[in-house]
Amino acid sequence: MPHKLRFYLDGEVVTLSDIDPTMTLLDWLRYRAQRTGTKEGCAEGDCGACTVLVGELSGERLDWRALNACILFMPMLDGKALMTVESLKGQHPVQSAMVDLHGSQCGFCTPGIVMSLVGRTMGACGTVNVDSADVLAGNLCRCTGYGPILEAAEQNPAAAFDDAHVFDTLKKIRRDDMLILSHEDMLSGLTRRWFTPRSVDDLAALRLEMPDARIVAGATDVGLWVTKQHRVLDTIIYVGGLMTDIDETPQGLTIGAGVRYAEAQTALARLHPDLGELVRRIGAVQVRNAGTIGGNIANGSPIGDTPPALIALGTELTLRHGETRRTIPLEDYFLTYGKQDLQPGEFVESVFVPALDATDFVRVVKLSKRFDSDISAVCAAFHLRIAGGIVTFARLAFGGMAGTPKRAHATENALTGKPFTPEVLAVAAEALRQDFTPLTDVRGSSEYRLEVSGNLLKRLWFEYHGERGMTQAVAHG
């Protein structure tokens, strides 16, 4: 007997049966629930016109998160609470601030912007140094130039919000057993199945049983397979809420695969500020509130957001197969484009990032056309130890330069044991051409990628001596 979906919305528990598990929340809101305030601008999580708030129990806490409804599958809402622009009934002070300050022109992006700003007052947009532009980085507006919206954001008008009723209701509808949904898909003729295991052990068992099932965590990538590519998914295992531990010890940082970017950001920033800034520049709030470190690694993107930095820091990856685990260097996980070292029945469980020594010199640089919410043309991570003017250790990794995130061994060799000088860095920059033959695509030409990567090496000399480059200038004002 398949389950029904249950979630909280505006004082009531919504119960849905026989819903396509790959129906997006946006489609449900607009075309089933007639809640059309939430808009579709892109259906790929890049414009924020569909921003909603989702509340989730975390132990004895209720955490709200701003999310893109366009790439959120309906079953991901099970046991959670939903707020849309309609929930505010036009009475939130953010709404009047937006009106008074002329924060809307065409108005199409406005509900999403309102939800981001309301979300911030509820802690739904992250808590680490969230400045207004960062809160809004995932909400595109084509009319205003953002000035009046940022002004409204600066007022940060909070309303008294008592979510005790939400909390109590979520406790009541909390599900202890695995959520199982099944739906006959007319278009593909398939029976689509959805599983939400409640423990990692259940996940491990389920994964053995269904090695071909698609694992979904934040759906920031898989969501697009459905909305953009119309790919047919038959069996889906949702791992939301699992493997969410972060463990900080003097030896290093262990991050569960299910930890979202937003939650990993603080701990990674403590490890090194560049890591925090790198995570801040992954997507925007709505994406960082959904996407996970494990998902980022498991999907094997050649750009890879976090992997180049994690590889440069010597990160180890723990993979689990039933009851057995194996640990490999993260760099060994990426075999070739689209292929990873992942056995049938196996899944990514956690990463371990070793702590840095005070003498370690680390720089992580993301280059993209737009600073916020863009994908890297090149992501470069440099991990050096310099003693007595000599490079004693060099570990360099790049994204966007090959079919996978990859170390630059020839370049490392050109540095190791050599004096740390502009001349040596220039030689190392040339060595990059042995390590990489990048592609030309929309984000940059092959030649640009090689040249700019070399320039980043050359710039290290200035950075080591205290000059701050553009990326740092941006990060720290």
Partner 1 sequence: MADAKVHASITHDSAPLHVSGTALYTDDVAEPAGMLHLAFGRSTHAHAKIISIDLDAVRSAPDVVAVFTAADIPGDNNVAPVAKDDKLMTSDDVIFMGQPIFLVAAKSAKAARVAAKLGRIEYDILTPILTIAEARGANSLIEATQVMKRGAVDFDAAPNRVTGSLEIGGQDHFYLEGQITIATPMEQGGMHLLCSTQHPSEVQHLVAHLLHVNSADVTVEVRRMGGGFGGKETQASLFAAAAALVAAKTGKPAKYRADRDEDMEITGKRHDFTADYDVAFDDNGRITSLRLELASRCGCSTDLSPAINDRALFHADNCYFLENVELISHRFKTHTVSNTAFRGFGGPQGMLAIERVMDAIAVHLGRDPLSVRQANFYGAGRDVTPYQMPVTDFVADRIVADVVAASDYNNRRQAIEKFNNTHPYLKRGIAVTPVKFGISFTTSHLNQAGALVHCYVDGSVSLNHGGTEMGQGLNIKVAQIVADVFGLGLDKIRITATRTDKVPNTSATAASSGTDLNGWAAYNAAMTIRERLAGFMAGRNGGEAENVTFEGGVVRAGDEVLGFAEVCRLAHFNRISMSSTGYYATPKIHYDRKTHTGRPFLYFAYGASVSEVEIDTFTGEYRVLRADLLHDVGRSINPSIDLGQVEGAFVQGMGWLTFEELVYNDKGRLLTHAPSTYKIPCASDRPKILNVELWRAGENREPTIHRSKAVGEPPFMLANSVFSALSFAVAAATGSRTLTLDAPATPERILRALKDGRA
Instruction: Pick out residues in 11-30 that bind partner 1 (CB under 8 A).
Output: 30
Among 58, 127, 129, 133, binds partner 1 (CB under 8 A): 133
Does position 93 interact with partner 1 (CB under 8 A)? The reply is no
Mask of contacts with partner 1, 181-200, x by CB under 8 A? -----xx-x-----------
Among 275, 377, 391, 401, binds partner 1 (CB under 8 A): 377
Does position 74 interact with partner 1 (CB under 8 A)? The reply is no
Provide the Cα torsion 27, 32, 33, 38; round to 10°.
Answer: 20
DSSP for 203-263, please give it.
HHHHHHH-TTSEEESS-TTHHHHHHTT-----EEEE-TTSS--EEEETTEEEEETT-BHHH
Does position 36 interact with partner 1 (CB under 8 A)? The reply is yes
Among 86, 234, 360, 430, binds partner 1 (CB under 8 A): 86
Does position 61 interact with partner 1 (CB under 8 A)? The reply is no
Does position 328 interact with partner 1 (CB under 8 A)? The reply is no
Stretch that binds partner 1, among 8-16, 107-115, 266-274, 341-349 (CB under 8 A): 107-115
Does position 363 interact with partner 1 (CB under 8 A)? The reply is no
Burial 237-269 (b: 16+ CB within 10 A, else e): bbbbbbbbebeeeeebbbbbbbbbbbbbbebbb
Stretch that binds partner 1, among 172-180, 291-299, 303-311, 464-472 (CB under 8 A): 464-472
Mask of contacts with partner 1, 282-301, x by CB under 8 A? --x-----------------
CB 408 within 8 A of CB 421: no
Distance CA 250, CA 233 (A): 42
332 in helix, strand or coil? helix
Stretch that binds partner 1, among 43-51, 164-172, 244-252, 328-336 (CB under 8 A): 43-51
Rg (CA), the chain: 23
Distance CA 405, CA 383 (A): 15
396 in helix, strand or coil? strand
Does position 150 interact with partner 1 (CB under 8 A)? The reply is yes
Stretch that binds partner 1, among 44-52, 348-356, 384-392, 408-416 (CB under 8 A): 44-52
Reported residue count of the chain is 477
Among 59, 323, 357, 370, binds partner 1 (CB under 8 A): 370
Closest Cα partner for 212 from 228, 233, 197, 198?
233
- For partner 1, how many residues bind (rule: CB under 8 A)? 92
For helices 261-271 and 273-280, give the axis angle rounded to 10 degrees.
160
Does position 466 interact with partner 1 (CB under 8 A)? The reply is no
